[in-house]
Amino acid sequence: MAKNKTINVQGHEISIITAGQHDYISLTDMVKGFGDDAMIYSWMRNRNTLQFIGIWEQINNPNFKGNEFVTFKSQAGLNSFNFTPKKWIEATNAIGITSKAGRYGGGTFAHKDIAFEFGSWLSPEFKLYLIKEFQRLKDEENDRFKLDWNVQRTLSKVNYHIHTDAIKEKLVPKTLTRAQTNFVYASEAGLLNVALFGITAKEWRETNPAAKEI
């Protein structure tokens, strides 16, 4: 996991890191406009919070230690209940909240579902701006992905003609039938797709049935 994105919410830069297909938002950055990290601990000690993050883990984490969750839930609300992100992660094998050490890029991060819940606890207004900026970031990433894909497909189309001309001149014997020639073209075109995209054109069509090829 590495810090690789930021969004600006009401004048505060908030870091986002990606793990696999999931985004984790910095709770440490979120809280800067309201106080310090002690607010994260106060939020986590809340019985409703504990219930929420526990259910999230049960839904999304097959390795979650539910028995430890039950123990924490029975203690929630007590003055003696000492609860931190690190304690939660180590005891339950949680994945929804992560804790990173380090002066730069460190802090407490949470899956966007949990971060939005924390945003509600901080301020409903802040949560709405957080969701808006996060969605704007994802829309930009999606548009960039579409553009990159279209550029790649265009380059593939241009190179295809260059490639087939080269095949015609260098690789296709004059004695081949039309069907045999088409087979050679198809084989070489498949090789080009694999080189550019890692899959053949047939595999791409099967994976993206609703997409329109260029």
- Asked whether the whole model's pTM tops 0.95, one would answer no
pLDDT for 114 equals 97
Which region holds residue 113: left if phi is over 0, alpha if psi is between -120 and 50, else beta?
Answer: alpha
Maximum pairwise Cα distance, the chain:
89
pLDDT for 171 equals 47
* Angstrom distance (rounded) from CA 169 to CA 184: 12
pLDDT for 65 equals 94
* Angstrom distance (rounded) from CA 154 to CA 213: 10
- Sequence spans of domains, the chain: 2-122, 146-207
pLDDT for 208 equals 72
* Angstrom distance (rounded) from CA 33 to CA 126: 10
Q: Which two tokens stand for residue 114?
A: 């949990």
User: Mean pLDDT, 10 residues at a time, over the chain (214 residues)?
Assistant: 78 90 93 92 92 96 94 85 91 93 80 96 95 92 66 57 55 54 54 55 69 56
* Angstrom distance (rounded) from CA 214 to CA 211: 10
pLDDT for 213 equals 54
